[in-house]
A = this chain, B = another copy of it.
Amino acid sequence: DPFSVSAHYLTASVPGPAVIRTQTVRTGRTLSTGQASLFQYAEDGSEVERIRVLATYGDLDTLPDDVRTTALPPAMPDRDHCLGPSDGAPRIPGSSAITDRLDIKLDPATVGWAIGAPSGKGEMRGWFGLADGRDPDPLSLLLTVDALPPTSFELGLTGWTPTVELTTHIRCRPAPGPLRVAITTRNLAGGFLEEDAEVWDSADRLVAQSR
């Protein structure tokens, strides 16, 4: 299972074929580390590296049950009172076919951007599921942390926010059922901002954190 995954985004990916090359960096008793690079091909046939990832893996099932937390699941309406595409909610600008694979319902309090009335707060909240109804697993959490619209929309900024770096920590195997995602931005400066995502499962456990 992934425990800690750090990705640096090098160049903008385009839809189409890609090659991923992997390397085992270290194999340990409880934790092992690997590296991967995703390549695509330029017009002249040369390889262009898109993303490079360092990741540490372990076995979530072997971890002790102890939890000490001050983190609480986000306060947001039931799934039925959140907004998805079938509720006339706006499509995420710039999004592509990938959103058809997802079942995202946004907290109405964080979709002001869609009607030209952003809250001015760097927050985004929603329910996350996979469109085919599959339950979440540790690997799918890596998608969950990065699937909501950017908090910058609620800060009143338009345009896409390219990612420089994304690190995700997986904390336990998620229980079946829909996930809640809360993303906050504390600080925007010099054209860069951080997004802190927390993912909660149906058993109210914090299953993933990312920045």
Interface residues of A (CB under 8 A from B): 3-4, 6, 8, 10-11, 25-26, 28, 31, 33, 35, 49, 52, 54-56, 60, 63-71, 121-122, 155, 164-165, 167, 169, 171-172, 186-192, 194, 205-206, 209, 211
Q: Are A189 and B171 in contact (CB under 8 A)?
A: yes
Question: Which listed residue (B33, B64, B172, B186) contacts A8, Cβ 8 A?
Answer: B33
Task: Report B-chain residues with C-beta under 8 Å of the C-beta of A8.
Answer: 4, 6, 25, 33, 54-56
A104–B31 Cα distance when bound, in Å, is: 32
Q: Are B209 and A187 in contact (CB under 8 A)?
A: yes
A-B contacts, 13 listed (Cβ < 8 Å): A3-B164, A6-B54, A8-B55, A8-B56, A54-B165, A63-B189, A66-B188, A67-B189, A70-B121, A71-B186, A165-B167, A169-B194, A194-B209
A10–B4 Cα distance when bound, in Å, is: 12
Stoichiometry, as copies per complex, reads: 2
Q: Are A35 and B52 in contact (CB under 8 A)?
A: yes
A28–B11 Cα distance when bound, in Å, is: 9
A54–B4 Cα distance when bound, in Å, is: 14
A211–B69 Cα distance when bound, in Å, is: 16
Instruction: Name 17 extra pairs, CB < 8 A, besides A70-B187, A171-B192.
Output: A4-B8, A6-B8, A10-B25, A25-B52, A33-B52, A52-B54, A63-B189, A63-B190, A63-B192, A64-B191, A66-B188, A67-B188, A68-B122, A71-B186, A165-B167, A167-B167, A171-B187
**A186 closest partner in B (C-beta):** B71
Question: Which listed residue (B3, B56, B206, B211) contacts A187, Cβ 8 A?
Answer: B206
| Most-contacted residue by chain B among A6, A10, A35 (CB, 10 A) | A6
Closest-CB distance, A160 to chain B (whole angstroms)? 16
